[in-house]
Amino acid sequence: MPEEIYSPGLEGVIAGETAISTVSGGLSYRGYSIEELARHGTFEEVAYLLLYGELPGAEQLDEFRKRLKAAAQVPRPIIDALRQIPPATAAMDVMRTAASMLAHWDPDVNDNSHEANVRKAERLLAQLPVVMAARHRLKQGKEPVPAESGRSLASNCLYMLFRADPSPAHVKAMDVSLILYAEHEYNASTFTARVIVSTLADLHSGIAGAIGALKGPLHGGANEKVMDVLQAVGKKENAEKWIRDALARKEKIMGFGHRVYKEGDPRAVYLKELCDELARETGNEDLETTSDVIQRIIWEEKKLPPNLDWPSGRLYYYMGLPIELYTPLFVLSRVAGWSAHVIEQLDNNRLIRPRARYIGPARRPWVPLADR
């Protein structure tokens, strides 16, 4: 028999093929660098690229936006169910539940054809922002705000949360963050979705499972922990002592290091520029200075560069977004990438079934109950 190779956490293991994205030589979606997509594209263009394989032309983009706007509504029974969920329930748990519930009203739920899966993906892309905003407002004792025609997905997301016109800078920041979070090859949540649908389960099941995987602080939940750190530091004058003491205690500081990007996360570089701009606009220069001090010292001491979660947590904070929504916002973006992977998996499916390295007892005989 060939020698078994064991790689804890599947690190470095090639588990499949994909044409959707790669982190080799920097992150790219379908061949386009993340830097160019973030600087020149819109989230709708990027979502189309992920789902259809090519950037849309003007007419294709217009039709895509019309379909998203038509789908930006949630069945009344789901809104009523959101009212009944205990207020203390984590927002990510609500998103996971909603993704599953939406399947019950989807006309294509049990159709795993390519065309049906694309239709389901488009609907989820439009519906999940409605769910997130509705749940947030209901918790505050306010009624949900319907999506408005004529707004981009990023603009509608902010409008449905606050019932106010977001500033152009906030819309741009939201749009860019959605682009940067949209896809990232075989990460934990994406692999979860592919494993689920490899059994020929439906797209909604894959997305619900992916949301569950994203909830963990070692994956999507890290951007929430970023603000815990910055708020614990307090004044910028405390930053250097605080972080050096934390490192001396061997505390893990979320938002730094990456399983793949050893030299630095390209997504974090561009988002840092937006953080600087929004910090000036919103009077948060001191907090941005604090983050710079922490980033510098962690690099000096640990040689760990920031990942995307480090600037995104601050960006959302500067926009006035509640911390509990940071990871659900990740969901609204990554559903495009998850869906693309689900579609790709089912288009050429093979059941994902790895082996385990057994470390239990050697084979032993049965012992009768009277002799134990």
- % of the chain with per-residue pLDDT over 90: 77
Decide if 309 is catalytic.
yes
pLDDT of residue 308: 86
pLDDT of residue 267: 85
Across 289-304, average pLDDT: 91
Mean per-residue pLDDT over the chain, rounded:
93
- Cα–Cα separations (whole angstroms), residue 62 to 43, 66, 286: 13, 6, 42
pLDDT above 90: residue 159: yes
Give the DSSP letter of residue 216: S
- CA torsion 183-189-193-196 (nearest 10°) is 170
Give the DSSP letter of residue 10: G
Q: Does domain 31-216+331-347 have CATH number 3.90.70.10?
A: no
d(CA 124, CA 119): 9
Q: Where are the domains of the chain?
A: 31-216+331-347, 222-318
- Summarised one tens digit per residue, pLDDT across range 21-77 is 999 888 999 999 999 999 999 999 999 999 999 999 999 999 999 999 999 999 999
- Report whether 52 contacts 340 (CB < 8 A): no
- CATH code for the domain defined by 222-318: 1.10.230.10
Across 170-178, average pLDDT: 96
- pTM comes to 0.92
- Of 106, 108, 175, 309, which is the active-site residue? 309
- Cα–Cα separations (whole angstroms), residue 57 to 30, 60, 121, 339: 16, 5, 20, 21
Give the DSSP letter of residue 306: B
pLDDT above 70: residue 256: yes
d(CA 278, CA 311): 11
Decide if 258 is catalytic.
yes
- Of 136, 170, 204, 258, which is the active-site residue? 258
Give the DSSP letter of residue 166: P
pLDDT of residue 2: 62
pLDDT of residue 309: 86
Across 240-258, average pLDDT: 87
